[in-house]
Structure formats: structure tokens, C-alpha cells
Structure 1
Amino acid sequence: MRRTMPQELRPMLLAPDWYQGMEEAEPQGRCMAWYDLVADRYVLLTVGAFYDGEQTVVGSMHCQCMYLQPDDRCCPSQRFQGSLEEQVARARDWLLWMAHRPVDRMEWGGVTTEYRFADDGVGISASGCNALRRLPPRQVVRVPTRVL
């Protein structure tokens, strides 16, 4: 995993000794890599890749408990099978894709905002008045994101 991960995502990998014994199956799997997607100083989404000894699962993670949330509407999990090298490559590609997806901030004024993926319009995070968000936003801004 470490050798195939692009430089920009290497800090998201866990310590090398964490990967010892990865070939042994575990019921919940082990986290291979994870990161927080950040915009405007806010963590919008935590994503990661887990390996259970047979397959790799990528998707949204609970930001505090660090487990996968397979039914998350903004980022449903995906499963990869094949050789370990193929799974690592597909997980790497997925993590890179998520890190570079464009994000829009929709503003209605005050504290009512919503962040959405610009490529498909799927909502990531929202705050403020739900009733206002039923109206067209006052402003839509493409925001830069980064990974932590």
C-alpha cells in the first residue's frame, strides 16, 4: 500500500507496523488508510479503506469511531476483490478521486449553508434552517478542499 500511494496521500497511511498480519482475515477488517476532506476549515467527510483479508471496502467513515458507514448517502461504500495489489490500486484510485472531487458551498445567508459535490450534486454537509434550503441559494461558490 505504502509503495503505491501517491505522495499527497502518504500521510494518510497508518504506521508500517499496523500492516503486519494484514493477510489474516478479520471480521470487521483493518483500516489501511483514511483522511478527512476539509473545506473552509471544516471537516466535511471522513473516508477510508478497510481490508478484511479477502476484499477491500472503501467509503465514508464515522469521524470519531472510525468505522465504515456503508449506507451513507453521500458516499456509499464500494467493495474491491482480486489480488491484493489490484485491491490496493483500486482503493488508491478511489481515495484520490474522492480527494479531488469538486465541492460547492451553497449559501442562503446567515448560517444556512450546504456543501455538495459539484460533479453530481450529492449533499455532504448542511447547517442552518432547513426551510431556507428549500429555496434557491443566494450564492454558490466552488470551494478548495484539502485532505488532513
Structure 2
Amino acid sequence: MDRISSENPAVETLRATVARHGARRKRIDLPEGSLPAGEVVRLVIDGTTYHAKVEGGFADGPHVSGAYDGPDMAREGSGTNRLGEWLEEAGRPVGGSVLLDTIEPEFAYGLRKPGEEVVYEAVEKPKESLANIARDLEDS
């Protein structure tokens, strides 16, 4: 499988901010238009691929408040929130920065601490018809 470094010019990197989400949780506030709102995307953290729903509404800008083991868990916000675990382990405070790498636009992204270089497995977004079949199977 092909691999790509976060330092490769083909990887677009955006700075995102750690924000408070409720009383005790944290989330990642994203630059406007950086990820497709309402969609579940792949989110690679420390070499493991999770799934995250891009949220946001009239009062809130785009953000990710969780990363989960499967796409259904991301849609429902159920299971262990791997994003919360990572933010704590990485010591990322509210108001601090994280870097968001675009591995495959509208499909796969990577999250890392500033100053850290990461190598990702290159992935391609599935053909739309295959994505629809997979979505139908997940919903069954």
C-alpha cells in the first residue's frame, strides 16, 4: 500500500483549534468549509483510522466532537470517543492547536500535534455507487 507523509506538498494541512464541548468534553473547531458538514469521514489518529461526523449549525461553525470505531457509531455518537482520549493523552488544552491533514478530500483526514510529522496510508474515496451500496448495507 502507498504511504504519504504529512510533509508532502500534496497533503493540505490546516490549523484547527481545541474547544470546549459541554462541561467536560473537548472538540476540534475546524476552518469554515474545510470538511463536508453533516458527513461521516475517516479520521486517522496515531496510525489508526476512526470515523467522525462533521457537525455544525447556525450557532456553531464546523467541528468534530468525536472519533469512533465505526461509521454508525460516529453517526450516533455511541461507543468510546477516541478523539477525547487522544486529546487528553496528547495534552492538547482548550484553545490549543492541532493540525488537520487532508489525505483524500471529503473522505479521509489525519489529525496530529503541531510539529509532529506523520506518515499516512494513501486511500482513495470509493466510487459513488460503491459508497451507496455500503451505506445501504450499514443501514440494513
Please say whether Structure 1 and Structure 2 have the same fold, judged by a TM-score greater than 0.5. Answer: no
TM-score normalised according to structure 1 size: 0.31
TM-score normalised according to structure 2 size: 0.32
